[in-house]
Each structure stands twice: as structure tokens, then as C-alpha cells.
Chains A and B, each alone.
Chain A
Amino acid sequence: DQQVKQNSPSLSVQEGRISILNCDYTNSMFDYFLWYKKYPAEGPTFLISISSIKDKNEDGRFTVFLNKSAKHLSLHIVPSQPGDSAVYFCAASAATSGTYKYIFGTGTRLKVLA
């Protein structure tokens, strides 16, 4: 039962353009969502998060959008840079249900072409 889904295994974008990574979830109890970036042989690095009481959160080049009715979130990276090339994971938790574990998607490999 895949509660968090990233349906695009890979994405290629030209440097300077926008990268849009998508994530869908099925559990309506999820109330906190995060994006992590992962390089090979390293642990995931926290990028940005959003609480279910918001629909947008911005941090520099990174913006996360949450559409609760569609159970969909997306990460926008503008402008994309070659150093952004990595695997991106979305994660969700249902903290108000008393559990703090994260459920992760399977990841999207982003390649930013110079």
C-alpha cells in the first residue's frame, strides 16, 4: 500500500528553467509534508516543508505547493542549477494522529542540464 507516490522516476530540465516535481498521497490524516534531496552515498537532506494549514511555502529558489482536495503536492525549483541534480523524495506524516514517522515516496531523479 503506497500511501505516498512519486509517479515520475526521472526528470530532465535545462539550467535556468523551472523544475516541477510532483507527489500524490492517499492518507487524508497526513498533516505535514516535506521534500528531501539525496545525493548518492549520502543521507537525505531536508529542503522544505509545509503544514496542512497552508497551501504554499517558499524558501529561496524552492517553493512547495499543497492541494489538499487533490491530495497533491509539488516542489518548484526556480531557476534550476546543475547542483540541483539529485534524487528528490517527498515525505508525509500524520503527527496529529500521534505518529511521527515519515512515509516516503520512491523518489524522482532530477537532472539539470548545463
Chain B
Amino acid sequence: DTGVSQDPRHKITKRGQNVTFRCDPISEHNRLYWYRQTLGQGPEFLTYFQNEAQLEKSRLLSDRFSAERPKGSFSTLEIQRTEQGDSAMYLCASSFTLSTTDTQYFGPGTRLTVL
């Protein structure tokens, strides 16, 4: 099965450290999305790529966050100088868009805990 994969599944870090997450989308999917989910909430959009171009970023994505998709395949999300408020589940999704009905398929997520 070649669903969306994310690595690592869990990350515990100390405040002030940098962390990087990786997402591998379903092959041939041209769009890749990052969301963040906290307890009791639905996923919140962070950013998305079409191929290697980052087309939209949420205001939630502060300057400490950066995302890349250098070759239009896998993507990385880096958080610099982590804060306790960054603790959340980070979800990646991908889609193959032929029309406006863009169905996103999610990976298992990376659970970040900042101590």
C-alpha cells in the first residue's frame, strides 16, 4: 500500500530545540498539505504545495515554521526554537487534482511534545 507516510510518528523535544518532520505523499499526487491538530479541535490548515511551489500559507505559520517540497515529491516541515504551544499532531495530506473536487488523503501524523 502506498498511502501517505510521515516520519517520525512521535517526537519529544525540549523548548528551544529545532525539529523537522518528513512527509511522503501518495505517488503521483501533485498537491501536498500540512495541518496541525490539537486536542478537541479539528485539523487546522498550515500550508500547501502544488508540485514544488508553496501556494498558500496560513497565518498560523509563524516565522519559526518553514516547509519545503524541493522536488515536488516528499516535503519537510521544520519548526525552529520550539515552544510548548507547538505541541500538537502534525498531519500531512496529499491529493491529485484534476478538477475542483480535490480529495485529500491523510497520513498517520507526527505527534510533537515540547517539554
- B-contacting residues of A (Cβ < 8 Å)? 4, 31-32, 34, 36, 41-46, 49, 51, 89, 91, 93, 95-96, 99-107
Contact = CB atoms under 8 A, between A and B. Distances in A.
Contacts of A49: 101, 103
Contacts of A101: 33, 45, 48, 56, 58
A51 B103 CA distance: 11
B28 interface: no
Interface of B: 4, 6, 31, 33, 35, 40-45, 48, 56, 58, 91, 93, 95, 97, 100-109, 111
A105 B93 CA distance: 17
Nearest to A31: B100
B91 A43 contact: yes
Contacts of A99: 56
27 contacts: A34-B103, A42-B109, A43-B6, A43-B106, A43-B107, A43-B108, A44-B43, A44-B91, A45-B106, A46-B103, A46-B104, A46-B106, A49-B103, A51-B101, A89-B43, A96-B100, A100-B33, A100-B95, A100-B97, A101-B48, A101-B58, A102-B33, A102-B104, A103-B45, A106-B40, A106-B42, A107-B42
B102 A95 contact: yes
A28 to B, nearest CB: 16
Given A44-B43, A100-B48, A104-B44, A32 B105 contact: no
Contacts of A102: 33, 35, 43, 45, 104
